[in-house]
């Protein structure tokens, strides 16, 4: 496998881990630790470093001098903005594929919700977050690549760490009555687009509101102000061959 493919593989794996909330806000990536990750077994530092810098350039991670890269600690303002965008785009994607569901695919979606509920019942936070994200990815038909799906994936990777922090600290959001996922499944079976939109917005907004509350309570104002989501200045790094390459870290 070529170096380019290795870089692409690492980038996609890191995006998935961010989406699933496996890294908290402020997490610092250490090359030595990543090289020990079974998913990157046999790889050199180069594709891992390049993948991290690609995520910095995409404003998903932030970089520091010496190629130190970490997960941003979002301000409440920026997190509200990003989650609002994600909510809007997910509704667009779900409605775009509204007529594509048959009973077999609905059973697959329902199984993801049941797996999430089962994980929650045994306090398995990692799998609870994983199956929740998988439910939303399946709802949006993320397997069908498009510009819209790419934007949704990016926004999930940005918000995922904050969701992981929320649940990892035991501060979960609580839904009373029917879970929004069940309402979403009901809407798809009944071909009720308005119910689908309401249920999806309810699901996303309820969790988002709780995340903002927890961030304000448990992270200091100084920490919240340290690392807002903002474009990174590109710098040039000289390679051994003497060529200059632009990287999104400074």
Question: Residues spanned by CATH 1.20.120.530 within the chain?
Answer: 76-223
> Which pair of tokens denotes residue 133?
């994200």
- Rounded to 5 degrees, φ, ψ at 244 are -110, 135
Outline where 99-146 has alpha helix (H).
Answer: 103-121, 125-139
79: its two tokens: 């997190």
Give yes or no for a contact between 74 and 229, defined as CB atoms under 8 angstroms apart: yes
Longest CA–CA separation in the chain, Å: 63
120-153 pLDDT per residue, tens: 889 898 999 999 999 999 999 998 889 999 999 9
Share of residues in the chain with pLDDT > 90 (%): 48
Q: Where in the chain is the domain with CATH 1.10.10.10?
A: 3-72+229-247
Give CB contacts under 8 A, 24+ apart, made by 133-141.
133/19, 133/20, 133/21, 133/160, 135/109, 135/181, 136/90, 138/108, 138/109, 138/112, 139/90, 139/93, 139/94, 139/109, 139/184, 139/200, 140/90, 140/93, 140/94, 140/97, 141/93, 141/96, 141/97, 141/100
Instruction: Choose among 89, 86, 87, 55: nearest CA to 72.
Output: 55
The mean pLDDT of 150-165, rounded to a whole number, is 90
C-beta of residue 205 within 8 angstroms of C-beta of residue 87: yes
Residue closest to 69 by CA, chosen among 90, 84, 54, 91: 54
CATH number of 3-72+229-247: 1.10.10.10
pLDDT of residue 232: 36
Does residue 200 contact residue 91 with C-beta atoms inside 8 Å? yes
Tokens of 219: 């992270």
Confidence of residue 113 (pLDDT cuts 50, 70, 90): very high
- Fold held by 76-223: 1.20.120
Q: How would residue 206 be classed by pLDDT, with cut points 50, 70 and 90? A: low
Backbone angles phi and psi of 114, in degrees to 5: -65, -40
Q: Classify 48 as helix, strand or coil.
A: helix
Query: Which residue, among 112, 218, 220, has the nearest Cα to 166 in the 3D structure?
Result: 218
Render pLDDT for 31-59 as a digit per residue (tens, 0 to 9).
Answer: 888 998 898 888 889 999 999 999 999 99
Strands (E), the chain: 28-29, 62-64, 68-70, 235-238, 244-247
102 vs 64, more confident: 102
């Amino acid at each position: 496998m070529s170096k380019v493919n290795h870089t692409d593989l690492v980038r996609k794996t890191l995006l998935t881990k961010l989406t699933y909330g496996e890294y908290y806000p402020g997490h610092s990536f250490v090359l030595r630790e990543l090289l020990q990750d079974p998913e990157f077994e046999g790889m050199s530092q180069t594709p891992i470093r390049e993948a991290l810098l690609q995520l910095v350039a995409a404003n998903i991670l932030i970089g520091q001098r010496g190629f130190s890269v970490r997960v941003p600690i979002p301000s409440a303002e920026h997190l509200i903005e990003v989650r609002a965008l994600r909510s809007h785009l997910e509704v667009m994607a779900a409605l775009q594929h509204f007529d594509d569901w048959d009973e077999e695919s609905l059973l697959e979606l329902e199984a993801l919700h049941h797996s999430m509920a089962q994980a929650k019942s045994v306090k398995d936070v990692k799998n609870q977050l994983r199956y929740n994200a998988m439910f939303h990815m399946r709802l949006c038909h993320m397997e069908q690549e498009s510009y819209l799906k790419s934007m949704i994936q990016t926004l999930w990777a940005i918000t995922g760490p904050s969701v992981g922090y929320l649940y990892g600290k035991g501060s979960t959001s609580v839904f009373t009555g029917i879970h929004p996922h069940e309402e979403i499944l009901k809407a798809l079976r009944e071909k009720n687009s308005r119910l689908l939109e309401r249920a999806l917005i309810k699901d996303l907004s309820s969790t988002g509101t709780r995340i903002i509350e927890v961030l304000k309570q448990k992270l200091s104002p100084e920490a919240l102000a340290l690392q807002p989501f903002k474009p990174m200045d590109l710098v040039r790094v000289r390679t051994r061959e003497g060529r200059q390459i632009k990287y999104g870290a400074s």
